[in-house]
Amino acid sequence: MQLSLHQAYLLVNPKSETTSTNNFPAEADGYTLAASDNIELARKSAKYIESGDTAAYRATYSADAVIHENAADETVSQNMAAIQAVRDAGVKITIDSGAIYHEVVYSTPKGGHTNYVFAYMVMTMAKGGKQLKINMHAVDAIKEGKQVEEWLFYDTKGVAELLK
């Protein structure tokens, strides 16, 4: 009989308890993860902006997702059109792959959701010999493997000049 790695680990490291050993304060309403499938979803979505893969980008969002970009609400289609317009203007977009991501999971829904991925990244826009680095903060509400709502915050100073 062949044992799985998990079964072999349990044989070598038997554990008599079945309850969690994490101690959370009574008022705690959730926890934070440094790695998760939801974080990977948000990371891939950002990379699809960089690659221009609009089908893959759209597939990371629910059909009725709302994006709040610097307090302006838009659909995924509107967001994709704005990104494409920037690309059509000859701007190359790259997103720092070393961005900081973490997921907060709430025990009770906040704003109707329980899973939020927070990302702090740098987007670089380059056109000709000009380059602009933009610090971005994104918060993605994720449900059933799709981004259902997103809040993006960044400084637009310099974007109009770059697009000239």
* Ordered structural domains, the chain, with CATH: 29-163 (3.10.450.50)
Tens of pLDDT, residues 46-71? 999 999 999 999 999 999 999 999 98
3-state secondary structure of 127: strand
What tokens were used for 77?
Answer: 């289609």
pLDDT at residue 4 tops 70: no
| Cβ–Cβ < 8 Å for 153, 137 | yes
Which distant-in-sequence residues (6+ apart) come within 8 Å of 121 by Cβ? 46, 95, 96, 99, 100, 135, 136, 138
What pLDDT was estimated at residue 2? 55
Give the pTM. 0.79
Distance CA 64, CA 75 (A): 8
Q: Which of 119-129 are b and which e, b meaning 16 or more Cβ less than 10 Å from the residue's Cβ?
A: bebebebeeee
Q: What is the mean pLDDT of residues 93-100?
A: 85
Work out the mean pLDDT of the chain and round it to a whole number: 85
Indicate the length of the chain as a whole number: 164
Q: Which of 19-42 are b and which e, b meaning 16 or more Cβ less than 10 Å from the residue's Cβ?
A: eeeeeeeeeeeeeeeeebebbebb
pLDDT at residue 6 tops 80: no
